[in-house]
Chain A
Amino acid sequence: MRELSLGQAVDRAIEDAMARDDSIVLIGEDTPLLRAPLFARFGADRVLAAPISESAFFGAAAGAAMAGLRPVVELYMVDFIAVAFDAVLNHIAKLEGFSGGNWKAPLVIRAPSGGWYGDGGQHGQSLWGTLSSIPGLTVVVASTPADAYGLMTTALGHDGPVIFMEPKLLSEEWLEFLGSGGRDTVSFDIPAEGAVGAVPDSPHTTPFGKAAVRRVGSDVTVMSVAVGVHRALEAAAKLQGSDVSCEVIDLRSLRPLDVETVVESVTKTGRLLVVDEDYREFGLAGELAAICLEAALSPRYARVCVEDTLPYARHLEDAALPNVDRIVEAATALVQA
């Protein structure tokens, strides 16, 4: 076991895998600085510094993956995947289907995600709902250092494309880079268990499609990913002793989704609360409701999500994101309804 921050855990997973597997190359902007340790260990042939040309280097990563490499493609933040979306939607995701399953492209997209530090609506989105709707992609979201290491390691051994989301609030490195910039005059509400934690020694993997029950409860199933999991745990702790006992489930993997765990928990509690830092409509919240209906469950249901373009101002952003107060209120209302 070692104690790592979430960002370090992702970096370690990539570095460990690159040492094992020569076919892994890393592509991204500013890699000589941002990935300086990898750059110094593996050289410029395996750690490529890309121009600000996302549509080109995402498309190229797809081609490289088809031709035998295993690229890790980095974004500064998942918002910028929009610039490369054709490569993701129409090429990376489609290869396996178009080729009748004969050709798969093993590539990993490393995408920092989410807000809580006041960077505005082009830099704080989550977008996993949009991305998880696309057949042919695997989408995973880490909420602890152990899972960050485990999910990234699994991704680097997977035979198809994986989008790996790394919540910026939980990543000391990203938060320092984008949020504080070396200032001690700003503060953030960082969930401790998400930001730093014990990571089992290599090789440690976390399976895709397997949710983690973070807290056992009996009245409401609270489902989330990323920072939302920690906000839900905090809400559950606040509600402890009341008649609202929350079961908190960290889905970890959205595509594939652990339907069994969802159904099992909702069957037990009869209530489902989705906590999602992504947009409310046509996303994870609706998907989980559909899964329950398909399983012939009709739980009492509520969702605490992002409803509009994320505002820049910290107090407005905090109110727009699924904060603890909103979760407590929604969970309580579900039980009292």
Chain B
Amino acid sequence: MTARAAVKKLDLDPEAILVIRNGELVTDDTLLEDADEVKLIAVISGGMGESVPPGGWRRR
């Protein structure tokens, strides 16, 4: 199974996931074997705290 298929099977979004196979970052067409150790890293972060448009001095 490819990394992409594995991520989709878990109902996760491949755009938002990085796949680490045996300690190495791999692309999502990489074939995963039974013996592989696979780690998935979610990349989405951030609530409003960092994302609020900065610097806008609004009129009250």
Say whether A associates with B.
no
